[in-house]
Each structure stands twice: as C-alpha cells, then as structure tokens.
Amino acid sequence: MEVLGAKYRERGFQFMVEPPTEFVPDFLQGYRPDALALKDGEGVLIELKRQRTGRPDQRIAEVSRRLNGHPNWTLEVVFTENFVRERGWTLRPAEIRSASDAELMEVQEEIDRLEQAGNLSAAFLLGWSLLEAATRRKIEDAASAAREPMTSWQIVEWLTSLGIVEGDLVVSLRDLLRKRNALAHGDFSSRADLDDVQALKQILGRVAEFRPSPS
C-alpha cells in the first residue's frame, strides 16, 4: 500500500487507506474501497485482491455498474501478487519513539520562533510534525499505530474519532491538510499564511488539552 500511495502522491493525488465514508460519493452509498485517491474533482477507487482467480467478482462488477455515467470516477483493481517482497515493493515502516513532554514543548517554541520571524510555511510544516507527535501520545495506549509513521489522513481520522476536533474545526483541519500535502510535495503556490499557522496552533491546543476517558 505504501508503494501504491507513493505512485498516486507523485501524480498530485491525495491518497487515503480505508477512507472515511464522507469521502466516498453518494452514488456509491454503502461501499467502502480499500483505498481512495483524489485530485481536482477526479477520484480513483482502489480495490486490493490477493490474486487473479479467473472467476467473476460480484463486488467489482457492482461497483463498475455504479460508475456508469460518472466519468470523473474510476476503479483500479490491484493484485497484491504483483508486489514481490524480494523486489523491494514491500516497505516496513520504522518504529517511531514517542516524544517526551520536553521535546513537544521545544518544538512548540521553535514553531513560535519561526512564526515570529515570518517563516510561516516552515512553521506550518513543523506544526504538522508536532501534531503527529502529539496525536501519537494521545493514542499510544489505544493502538499499535502509535509506534508507526502516521499519514496526514490518519491524523485527521484519529482526531475526529476521539472527538478532539469537531464541527467547523474538522472542516478547517481538512483544509489545512490539503495545503500541507500540496506544500510538502513541492507545490509552492500553496504557501502557508498566518491564518493557517494560527488555525493549526488552535488544533494543537485542543490536542494538548484532551484527556482520554479512563478505560
């Protein structure tokens, strides 16, 4: 999936694994693809299959039928047998150490300095790194995902599922994510401004204040 995601990101797509249902179009209600790639009104639904069987796949056939009349949406079926470990297609993510309180505070202070110096895009991107680290701290007792790199979309999913961000703040976070992805992948027309940095700091504040309910 890492290789597949890299392929789409290189082409300017946003790539999501097991995307939230709100990103799946209404005409595909009840269907959730294994992955989803989005760019400028174009969508690619991605289905993973272990191997070719030669038999009809009713799920694929039904999705294909629903796509009729929707030229901006396509379906890609990926057979995992094509990704051979010996050829280096399978990437194992590095285990990520949880940041200490002191490290989180140090990075927050660096973001403040970058903001004050007018280096807003740098402050914005470092803010996303801090957001991942802070989110990982909140979920480290809940999932093994806390020990692996998190995609930007996974951060959004965790923050919304935990109720840390809600309502208009969810919309703001997703807008910030789109700008982050564009900037991180070399689209320098999407420079961060002061409002972007302040909005991200507001979300970081919500994460810092969040206290998980005792289990």
- Over residues 9-23, the pLDDT tens digits come to 888 889 998 888 888
Q: What is the CA radius of gyration of the chain?
A: 19
Q: How many domains does the chain divide into?
A: 2
Are 81 and 108 in a shared domain? no
Percentage of the chain with pLDDT > 90?
Answer: 25
Are 114 and 72 in a shared domain? no
Say how many C-beta atoms besides its own lie within 10 A of residue 128's C-beta: 20
The answer to whether position 94 is within a domain reads: no
Which among 87, 112, 143 is the end of a domain? 87
The answer to whether position 201 is within a domain reads: yes
Rounded Cα–Cα distance for residues 79 and 180 (Å): 31
Geometric angle at alpha carbon 128, from 126 and 1, rounded to 5°: 120
pLDDT over 80 at 120, yes or no: yes
Q: Which of 181, 166, 200, 153 is nearest to 40 (CA)?
A: 181
* Mean pLDDT, residues 159-188: 83
Are 128 and 204 in a shared domain? yes
Rounded Cα–Cα distance for residues 13 and 16 (Å): 10
Are 77 and 111 in a shared domain? no
Residues in the chain: 215
With beta carbons less than 8 A apart as the criterion, state whether 181 and 152 touch.
yes
Full strand arrangement of the beta sheet holding 73-79 = 14-17, 35-39, 42-49, 73-79
Which among 87, 109, 139 is the end of a domain? 87
Calculate the average pLDDT of the chain. 80
The answer to whether position 128 is within a domain reads: yes
pLDDT band at 65 (very low <50, low <70, confident <90, very high): confident
The answer to whether position 92 is within a domain reads: no
Q: What is the pTM of this model?
A: 0.55
Report residue 210 as tokens: 């969040």
The answer to whether position 143 is within a domain reads: yes
Rounded Cα–Cα distance for residues 115 and 175 (Å): 20
Q: Which of 179, 176, 181 is nearest to 165 (CA)?
A: 176
Which among 36, 56, 87 is the end of a domain? 87
Are 70 and 146 in a shared domain? no
The residue type of 117 is: A
pLDDT over 60 at 187, yes or no: yes
Rounded Cα–Cα distance for residues 121 and 184 (Å): 10
Domain residue limits at 35: 2-87
Are 68 and 106 in a shared domain? no
